Every structure is written in structure tokens, then in C-alpha cells.
Structure 1
Amino acid sequence: MLKTKTNDDKVDTLLTKGLIPIIDLAHCGTEEAPVRSVVHRVGHQLQKCLNEKGLCLLVNHGISDEKLKTAWDHLDDFVDLPSDVKEHYLRSGEDNHGYIRPGMERFNGKIPELRHAFNICTLNAKNLPEEPLPGFAEHISSLAQDFKALARFVLQALAVSLDIPQSFFLEKHSHMLSGEHDNESTLRLLYYPPIIEDTTEKNDFIKGSCSYSYQRCLSDKPDFRPETNPRDEVNELDGKTENDLIAERHLPNGEIIRCGAHTDYGTFTLLAQDSEGGLEVKLPGSEKWQRVGHLPGAILINCGEILSIWTNQRYQALEHRVVIPEQPHIRTRGRHSIAFFCHPDNLTMISPNDLPCNEAGLDIVDKKPRKKSFRAAKEKVYNAYQLIQKRFRETYGHQTSH
């Protein structure tokens, strides 16, 4: 029997078209003793995926759906806290740790973006909202360690993909989440509030939580069936600070955005989503925006700018954005995601000449290798901290200090 397609069914994604590679991490071993054959197999798969697509999906990665959902519940509880409590945890200055309210970030430099975010760069409980939210610090710290372990496995596989020593990237990412300001790796909890339109045709958003559609089935099509949840009801607008008002009501011509087009800053990003809700990418060599799609239980990996520099753009940083879904019943529900941004240690110098595989063939004419200091001066090589702070200034530069 043929099924008549509705408008909702007609949303094509890279996943439904079979254009996203999927890598199985089953039986990869432990963080301390990864199975060498699996590391090499994944490395060879990453080489093809990242070179051709700039992204892929990881399955059987060991991070449970329930653990992710609990983290989103904790973020919802944080968003529901009084504004003066949330203000205590605001991100400020050059420290990337802390809460980011709607309107604080502008990836395109212009339009304030509609989302709540909490960046975790250190697992020190005093920097997490444990007092107002008992259990927050313990659960998020455990989840952060899970993402860190997954990132360490990927770093080894990446080295294999580039035919360099397996420990090369591990040694340059040894202080992830150390809390000593030696590394800018960040676990980022994200909540995109529902979008509603009022009778005056102005765009608005509401705070609160939504019902999850994180599935546990084999289908690659997300379940967007409406569910009832008392927390989905319209609440009073939260905060009403200057930045919030800009994000709520003052966007020109009804233009609103959840996350503007950008490339990630670091080595790579690991992304978990609760449902397919507007993530779009431009594949390498293409100027066309394409919806990614959602595979239940999978974690997406995409390249960042530092990996692109290191590999001399062999692995390109993937441009992406989060748009407002067209379907009315989806846009009126919130969206959750968790991103782990893997960054090198702050003092790591970033240059394609630092990768052993890129050293071959250099200076063939004089045959005498140049001193590293001379080469760095000529190419204006920066360390990882300098690169990320430059990008932070572009994203947050419009703000006054807090």
C-alpha cells in the first residue's frame, strides 16, 4: 500500500539520501587499551569520510541515550532558574566557561542567536551550578569524561588516517578539561527554545523545555509526532535583559536565527542531538546548504579550523548552521544538543609543517632543513590559544564586559 507523503515527509536530508558515512565503533576497547585493529580500521574510514564529506556519524560509541537526555533535563532546570541566579554563572572575558543567554552570541557578527548554552571547560564543582541544582555537577562531569574518552580515541584514529604516529595528536591534546586553563576543549550544552509568532506578526520565543524525540529504533527518520508535556506551555519571558529583548522582538523583517553560519574553531567537534531540528551544512566544494538529518543514537563528527590548518585543508572545516524548521509543529518545540569541541593544548603551535606527513618534500631545493623558529616567523604561526581567542573576539566582540 502506497503512503501519501505529507509536506513534513518531503524534507530531504543527507541521511535519507545516503550521503553521510556511518562508522561503527563497536569493540573499540577501553580508553587505556584501545583495540589496535579497530583504531586502524576507523582511521582509514575517517580518512575517506573527512576528505570527501568533512563529517560522518559515529554509532556504538558507548555514550547512552539516557545519559544525554538526563544532561538536557539538567540544562532545562538551569534555564528555569531565576535570572539573578543564572547571571552568577555567565561567561565573561576570555574564559569560555559559563552560561550564555539568548542574544549574547552572533556567529555572523550581526544577528543575535536564539539559544541557551552552558559551556563546561573545567569540571571543578565550584564553577558548576551544583548548589541550586544538586546532581548537576556529578552528572555533567561524568558525561564530559565520556566525551573526552571518545575524543581521545578519535584523535588516535585521526593520526592513523594521516599516516603519522598514533600518539601524535594525543600528546597535543593532553590537558582537555583539566581545569588549569591549559586547554580550551569545551563540553557545550545547548537548548534552542520553541519559536512562536504573536498576533502582531512579530517573532518571539519562549523559555522552558520540550518533550524529547530521541528514538531508540532502527529507523533513520525522526519521530515528530506531537507529545503533551506541561512544561511546553507558554511561560512568561525569562530574563528581559537588553540582549534578550533584542533576540525576542527586534529582529528586522521577522528574521530570526538559532545559530548563524560558521565553522568550528578547534580540531573537531562531536555532536549529539535529540532530533533533527534544522542542522544544515555545506559539503566540501559545494555552496548548497543541505539538511543533515538525525540518526537515533549517533554522534556526528565534523572537522574544525585547526585540523584544516594542520592538514593543509586536506580535511576542511565544515561550514554549518541551525535554521528554524519549516514545519509549524516542530518550530514550536524546543531543540537540544550537546557538542564537545576538541581543542589542542593552548601552547601547541598550529602549522601544516608540524605534521610529519606534511614535512616530506619541503625544502627540497636547499635540502638543508630550515630552523623551526625561522619557518614559524615567516608563516606567522600562532598557537592554539591565540587562534581561538581571535575567534571568540569575533563572536562576542559586540558585547560589553560582564
Structure 2
Amino acid sequence: MHDNQVTATAAHGFVPVIDLTSRDSAQGRVEIAQAIDRACTGSGFFVVVGHGVPQDLIDRMFTVTSAFFALPDEEKNRVAHGPGVSGFRRMGGTTALSLDQESPPDLCQAFAAHVTGELCDEERRALGNQWATWTLANIWPENPADFREVWAEYMAAVSDLAADLMRLFALALGLEEGFFEDKFDRHGSSVAVNYYPPQVVAPLPGQLRRGPHTDFGSLTILYQEDDRGGLQVLQGADEWRDVSAIPGSFVVNIGDLMALWTGGRWVSTMHRVVNPERGDTSSRLTIPFFYLPNHDASIEPMRPFTVPCDDRPHFGTGVIAGQWMSEKLRKMFAGTA
């Protein structure tokens, strides 16, 4: 799949695979943008290969993060913080609550860090005063010793990939490549690794590793283990489709803000992480990167792109990105301590 041709195969049903190898050429970028438009108009999900993030870095990120979650509870608790902020979270929240759907808590732990969490206090104070993750300093464990270094390297690499995907998004929408750049020059993006512990006790009725939800922001870049399933995407009203991992790939999906930006032309699709088969006591670890606009970015529906006559939701008014994200996170962690 690395022959400098864009592919959009149906390897995952309605989640296509797009090869980014040819994005260094003008013609390649046009073809990739066309494939992205088809994917985002259809499922809102696609898989990228040929993305340029070194496999060695991905492997080190996975290894160092797995080592952290293998530490004794008392050591992980040293970098625990309140709900929805950086550091270790023993409970990863309840994603269904972000859509006002009642559900038991997700069977997930997490560790999160934010690009803005590395700024100085004065710079972070300029990021607004709402209940938000990106206004706080990151909290880093002392063990593993190279944890912070590897995470910083990974965040930088995936931020670069996300920025180029946004340029391709602009092309896909018939805009200048740099159209979105001033909305992301102070972006509040985050890595929030999900650790799904072994299920030695049966889940509660309706309880999943991650409940059904849509992502909140512009786009998500997800790494998942090659041999650990669980991610499902909703097709139609009630058909859940598995998205298994392709070695060396990322799963990319757009979020609510991107759907709003396009006036519903592109879709933010419901997805979930299901429980393993009973008796399977393996753990699972995924690494999502959430690429978020500047906290004060005004996101307005692009009227030329609005889909006038179908069954998709239509967006009449815009939002301020930080206020939108803050409210979603507040709902997700409602009732947690």
C-alpha cells in the first residue's frame, strides 16, 4: 500500500484505509483530500498508513505507558488529579454522559497530558478561566524515568500529523490549505491514554469499556494494539461495526466541532469500546490524540458546505471552542471525585 497511490479500500466495511505516502506532491495531496472527503461524508472515520510518525516512537510510547499502568496503585496515585485534568485517573469518566445518556462508569483508567500543560503559568492563565483541562500544568510520574520525554516527543510528532491533516481537510473542502491554521496556533490538544484493566468481575448491565459517544473536537488520531479488538463504529441506526487495527496505522475520526464547521456535510459518528469475551482477562491500551482548536476560536458552520436536504443534524449557530469542550468534559466527569 506504499506505491504512492491513494487507496480508500473497504477493509473495515465503511471505514476506508487512506495511504498518506504521496502527500509530498501536489497531485498526491489532491487525491488524498478527495479520499478524506469521501470518508468524512460517509462514516467520519478512516485509517491512515504512510503517516510518517516513526514506528520506533510509537513503540516507545506504548512501552513506557504500559509500564506506568503496571505500577502499584500507590505509585500511580502520586500523580492522580481531579476529574478531567492531566495526570492519572483511576476512573476515566462516563463518556455517554457527554450526550446526556445515563450509563454506569466506563471500565477504563486513563493518563492525560496537554500541549498547553507545558507552558509557563502566565501563558496558561491566558487560556481562559472556564472549567478546563488545558489551563493546568501537566503532572508527570517519576517512574518510568523517560515517561515525560517520550510523551513530549510523541505529542509533538502527532501534533505535526494532525496539523497536516487539517491542511488536507481544507483542500477536501475546496479551501486554501492554510484556512484552519489561525484556529490552531494556540491549540489545546491532548493525549489521553485509555487503559482497560482485565475484567475479573462481570460488568454491570450496560457497562462497557467506553460507552457510546462522539468525540468533541476537530479530529482524533488513535493508536490501538494490533491484537486487541474492541473499537466499534455505529453504521446506520443500530449496526455496530468492528474497526480492527492494521499494523503501523492510526484510526482517524472527526469530532463534533468539525461536523459543525462543515454544517453537517461531514459526520461525527458514534463509537464505543466493547468488553472482551467472558473469560478473557487481557488488558487493552489505546493512545488517542485529540486535536483541539484554540480555546477562544469561534466555530461557525460554513454555509456553502451545509447539507440542505437529508436526515443529518443541521447546525444553526456557532460555538466558542473552549466553552464547548469545557461543558462536554464537565458532563463526562459528573459525579466523579
Question: Among 95, 105, 113, which residue is 2:106 paired with?
Answer: 113
Kept in 1: contact 2:218–2:293 (CA 8 A)? yes
**Residue identity opposite 2:20 in structure 1:** L
Question: Among 326, 333, 350, which residue is 2:277 paired with?
Answer: 326
What is the TM-score normalised by the length of structure 2?
A: 0.80
Q: Distance in 2 between matches of 1:325 and 1:115?
A: 13
Report 1:274-293 matches (<5 A). Answer: 274-275=225-226, 276-283=228-235, 285-293=236-244
**CA offset at residue 387 of structure 1?**
0.3
Question: Among 22, 26, 30, which residue is 2:21 paired with?
Answer: 26
| 1:136 corresponds to | 147
**CA offset at residue 356 of structure 1?**
7.2
| 1:302 corresponds to | 253
Kept in 1: contact 2:220–2:290 (CA 8 A)? yes
**CA offset at residue 341 of structure 1?**
0.7
Kept in 2: contact 1:128–1:136 (CA 8 A)? no
Q: Distance in 2 between matches of 1:131 and 1:389?
A: 29
SS in 2 for 1:301: strand
Gaps of 5+ in 1: 1-13, 30-34, 177-182, 197-201, 204-250, 362-378
**Residue identity opposite 1:349 in structure 2:** S
**CA offset at residue 324 of structure 1?**
1.1
| 2:331 corresponds to | 394
Structure showing the higher strand proportion among its residues: 2
**Residue identity opposite 1:289 in structure 2:** W
Gaps of 5+ in 2: 1-8, 98-102, 120-136, 309-315
SS in 2 for 1:280: strand
Kept in 2: contact 1:163–1:357 (CA 8 A)? no
Report 1:2-401 matches (<5 A). Answer: 18-29=13-24, 35-92=25-82, 96-101=85-90, 103-109=91-97, 110-122=103-115, 124=118, 127-176=138-187, 183=188, 185-196=189-200, 202-203=201-202, 252=204, 256-275=207-226, 276-283=228-235, 285-326=236-277, 328=279, 331-352=280-301, 355=302, 357-358=304-305, 381-400=318-337
**CA offset at residue 274 of structure 1?**
0.7
Instruction: Report Cα offsets for 1:344-402 as digits up to 9, x if no partner.
Output: 111111120xx37459x9xxxxxxxxxxxxxxxxx6532000000110111001124xx
Q: Distance in 1 between matches of 2:194 and 2:252?
A: 17
SS in 2 for 1:189: strand
Q: Distance in 2 between matches of 1:262 and 1:321?
A: 7
Q: Distance in 1 between matches of 2:50 and 2:232?
A: 24
Stretch of structure 1 that moved more, 80-89 or 145-154: 80-89
**CA offset at residue 71 of structure 1?**
1.5
Q: Distance in 1 between matches of 2:96 and 2:47?
A: 26
SS in 1 for 2:325: helix
SS in 2 for 1:264: coil
SS in 2 for 1:389: helix
Instruction: Report Cα offsets for 1:29-85 as digits up to 9, x if no partner.
Output: 4xxxxx433332211111111112211110011123332232122222222334344
Q: Distance in 1 between matches of 2:23 and 2:161?
A: 10
**Residue identity opposite 2:94 in structure 1:** R
Q: Distance in 2 between matches of 1:339 and 1:162?
A: 25
SS in 2 for 1:147: helix
**CA offset at residue 16 of structure 1?**
5.1
Kept in 1: contact 2:92–2:110 (CA 8 A)? no
**Residue identity opposite 1:166 in structure 2:** E
Q: Distance in 2 between matches of 1:164 and 1:314?
A: 15
**CA offset at residue 312 of structure 1?**
1.0
**CA offset at residue 18 of structure 1?**
4.6
